[in-house]
Amino acid sequence: MPKDVGLDLQTPQQLVRLPVVMGILRRTGVLDLIDHAITEDRRSKVSTSECVAMMLCMVFIGEHGMWRMRDHFRAYDMHTIMKNPDFDLSAFTEERFAKAIDDLYRCGLDRLMTGLALQVIEQFRINTDYLHFDTTRLSFYGAYEGEGDLFSLSNGIDPAPSIIYRYWELAMQFDQS
């Protein structure tokens, strides 16, 4: 029988692709943009952007539900992934994720998505001289009143093309003024 040498062997924690995902989120400024757009309740232990980061990590490990998220992350080295030695997995409750989703919805998902897309275009210097937009399965109805200025986060980038409706075809017109 082998002699006990006093080693406490534990199952190693995983990293998989999560540090890359978090690196891209940080580099593009996506998390900062979410923090800027959403006023946090000071009672929240974690921000909405941290909840978004955790939800995206869940997707990248192959889980798509918010139920028992903490249990799924126990096998991962979240301190390293989040680059935070004080990372507290217990602060990410189902209720906090639900509030984060509500906050994102109240902020205006279209406006937030436009800001995120513009941030990525700027960060990666994506050429937008030519725009390919597949309209084969797209339809538009009525006016979108009350949306406000969806392009207020554009930092001087030209506005998106206007859309006009025709029977069986959708034509894109670019304002050349």
The model's pLDDT over 41-88, given as tens digits with 9 standing for 90+, comes to: 888 899 999 999 999 999 998 887 777 888 888 888 999 999 999 999
Confidence of residue 103 (pLDDT cuts 50, 70, 90): very high
Domain assignment of residue 142, yes or no: no
Higher pLDDT, 140 or 83: 83
Domains contained in the chain, number = 1
**CB-CB contact of 30 with 119 (8 Å):** yes
72 is in which domain, residue-wise?
18-122
What pLDDT is recorded for position 75?
A: 87
Domain assignment of residue 3, yes or no: no
Domain assignment of residue 35, yes or no: yes
The stretch 129-153 carries a mean pLDDT of: 60
Give 90's contacts (C-beta < 8 A, 6+ positions apart): 70
Domain assignment of residue 155, yes or no: no
Q: What's the whole-model pTM score?
A: 0.65
Domain assignment of residue 167, yes or no: no
Domain assignment of residue 37, yes or no: yes
